Amino acid sequence: MDSFVECGGAFPVVRCLSGRGSKSHLIKQRSTVCLMRCAVTIESSSDAEADVVIRDIDERGVARITINRPHVHNAWNPQVVVALTDAVESVSAMPQVRAVVLTGEGKSFSAGGDLRWMRGILDQSSEQRREDASRIGKLLVAIDSSPKPVIARVNGAAIGGGFGLVCACDIAVACNEAVFGLSEVRLGIIPAMISPFVVRRLGEAQARAHFLTGHDPMPAQKALDAGLVHHVVGRGDLDAAVEAELRAVLRSSPTAIAETKRLFRRTGARGLDAAIEDATSALVGTWESGDAREGLTAFLEKRSPSWH
């Protein structure tokens, strides 16, 4: 029987699915996901095989990419990062694809990094940490630089890296039950790889407030007011709202859209590339700090960190 432990809130996190592309992998490790103050650990006796990312393309050329780890709120692990990058790069290169919709399976968009994976990073070498950080940067850049319009269908919580995914997309449509948060500093780590995209989306003043405090998740309406998302609708109206955005982009010239996105990219390319490199180095350094080890260990041991 799956169960969960309340830790300053209640948000069930269950079994861990892992795989890449069309190949499925069975793993026996469990995930811990932090949704700001809502943090839980789940132990389950078995896992089912599943593709961690699902890609579908309809007859109009709309590609739908779904993070498929609903039982851990679509938290990332290395397989998710690689599979999601492959899916984005693949559809971006297809002439027949006109638009991309990015979403999560189930009731969450993405809870960001799987904390059991991140806890394992503490035991990696600096080079291994840099490789992991670079893969995350590559994923976000793939979304940002895609010549296709990328629409985030935010069907629930977008935390940490999930928050960053929303910021990397061109258009974001959220259901009114969605929440958005950045809790990294509470764990002794930093929101490194997502920072260029979050700062660009929210502006430095808002980004500083969220980065430095790990504020409780902001509700969808506040995210709309902050410019993080473009539309907020009821859960039952989410697909219709996404469809409205799709109809708009499908009426537009694919060549003009691609060139417009390239224009944005050229305008900020030098700054973004340097920011990604700086973020990678900063993240690697943070993993080597005592606070990162203490923060993640405290979370997994269900206790407050030493600085709390």
Active site residues: 184
Can you tell me which residue has the tokens 């990678």?
280
C-alpha 46/C-alpha 238 separation (Å) is 33
Which two tokens mark 28? 């026996």
End-to-end CA distance of the chain: 33
The three state secondary structure string of 78-118 is: HHHHHHHHHHHHHHHCCCCCCEEEEEECCCCCECCECHHHH
Cβ-based neighbour number of residue 87 at 10 Å:
22
Query: Which value, in Å, is the radius of gyration of the alpha carbons in the chain?
Result: 18
C-alpha 254/C-alpha 134 separation (Å) is 30
Short-list 93, 82, 86, 83, CA closest to 53 = 83
